[in-house]
């Protein structure tokens, strides 16, 4: 699938240094190419598999069933936080997992975002910046499916569906912006450090258990709560449960602060990527 060369050339001529502080410009400028690569990336992941996109439904459902059995039935884990104690453990768990899965997917796929398109690196007119954005877009696609699965299953699992679920995209937006910054950073580093995947894998394991996915943080000491609050997943997981399961409004002030921090991270990640890309062709 090719990208319109004329559009690429026209866009390349309009590049400005100020774009380093405006990640949105990259997305809007190259939206046609971005859409083409996103559709191809989603189709490619399951193209050669027997069940195709059905794995998108089967994998999260099977994972949820295993975790719910281990933590909800065997270990008898429960949520005691206000608004969450009456919600089945499996639903609380799934709401947390769908946010964490997005981060794990983004960080895992980012390292190869540029490497697997090495043939495009030496094409001066090609906007390499969109390759990491495709990773985030793909993760958002699967997160939307997982959220839909949660809302379909909730009434049958003892939960309710609330109109506030419509606000979930607004809750996820700041997290997506933060993931953009992480993706630009990791995709650039992945060109130079091929064994970085081992470090990222360990980091994701730590992030999973240092986040309120499997347990309620109200049961922890204030010091541990402060540590877990530093995890970028923690706040978004709480807001996701609030709008998807509890029928509450999100913390708008908290989301505003999160957007500001995430936007700064995205701008810095883009700046790092653009500086690093100058020597990509020397490595690949």
Q: How far is the C-alpha of 84 from the C-alpha of 252, rounded, in Å?
A: 20
Residue among 88, 90, 87, 100 nearest 65 (CA): 90
pLDDT at 48: 53
Query: Residue written as tokens 């999160």?
Result: 258
CA dihedral 92, 96, 97, 99 (to 10 degrees): 150
d(C-alpha 33, C-alpha 140), whole Å: 18
φ and ψ at 16, to 5 degrees?
A: -135, 150
Q: According to the model, what pLDDT value does residue 241 have? A: 92
pLDDT given for residue 4 in this prediction: 44
pLDDT mean by block of 10 residues, the chain; 284 residues? 42 45 73 83 67 71 75 66 70 90 92 84 79 91 90 82 92 95 93 86 88 81 86 93 92 95 92 88 74
- Output the pLDDT for position 175: 96
pLDDT at res. 172: 95
pLDDT for the residue numbered 283: 76
Query: Could you tell me the pTM of the whole model?
Result: 0.83
Nearest to 159 by CA among 242, 61, 72, 91: 91
Are the CB atoms for 197 and 283 separated by under 8 Å? no
pLDDT value, residue 239? 94
Helix 89-110 and helix 196-209: axis angle, to 10°? Answer: 160
Q: Give the model's pLDDT for residue 53.
A: 64
Helix-helix angle 168-192:252-276, to 10 degrees: 20
Distance CA 46, CA 273 (A): 29
Burial of 58 by CB count in 10 Å (0-12 exposed, 13-18 middle, 19+ buried)?
exposed
């Amino acid at each position: 699938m090719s990208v319109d060369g004329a559009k690429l050339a026209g866009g390349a001529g309009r590049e400005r240094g100020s774009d380093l502080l405006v990640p949105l410009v990259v997305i809007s400028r190259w939206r046609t190419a971005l859409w083409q690569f996103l559709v191809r990336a989603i189709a490619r992941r399951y193209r050669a598999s027997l069940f195709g996109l059905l794995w998108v439904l089967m994998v999260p459902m099977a994972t949820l069933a295993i975790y719910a059995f281990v933590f909800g039935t065997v270990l008898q884990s429960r949520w005691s936080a206000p608004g969450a104690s009456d919600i089945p453990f499996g639903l609380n768990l799934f709401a947390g997992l769908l946010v964490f899965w997005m981060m794990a997917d983004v960080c895992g796929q980012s390292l190869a975002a540029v490497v697997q398109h090495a043939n495009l690196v030496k094409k001066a007119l090609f906007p390499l910046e969109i390759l990491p954005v495709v990773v985030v877009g793909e993760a958002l696609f699967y997160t939307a499916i997982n959220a839909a699965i949660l809302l379909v299953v909730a009434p049958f699992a003892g939960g309710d569906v609330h109109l506030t679920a419509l606000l979930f995209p607004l809750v996820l937006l700041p997290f997506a912006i933060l993931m953009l910054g992480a993706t630009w950073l990791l995709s650039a580093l992945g060109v130079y450090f091929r064994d970085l995947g081992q470090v990222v894998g360990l980091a994701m394991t730590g992030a999973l258990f240092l986040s309120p996915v499997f347990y309620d943080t109200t049961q922890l000491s204030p010091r541990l709560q402060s540590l877990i609050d530093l995890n970028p997943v923690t706040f978004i997981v709480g807001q996701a449960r609030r709008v998807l399961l509890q029928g509450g409004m999100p913390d708008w002030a908290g989301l505003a602060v999160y957007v500001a921090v995430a936007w700064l991270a995205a701008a810095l990640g883009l700046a790092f990527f653009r500086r690093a890309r100058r020597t990509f062709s020397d490595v690949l």
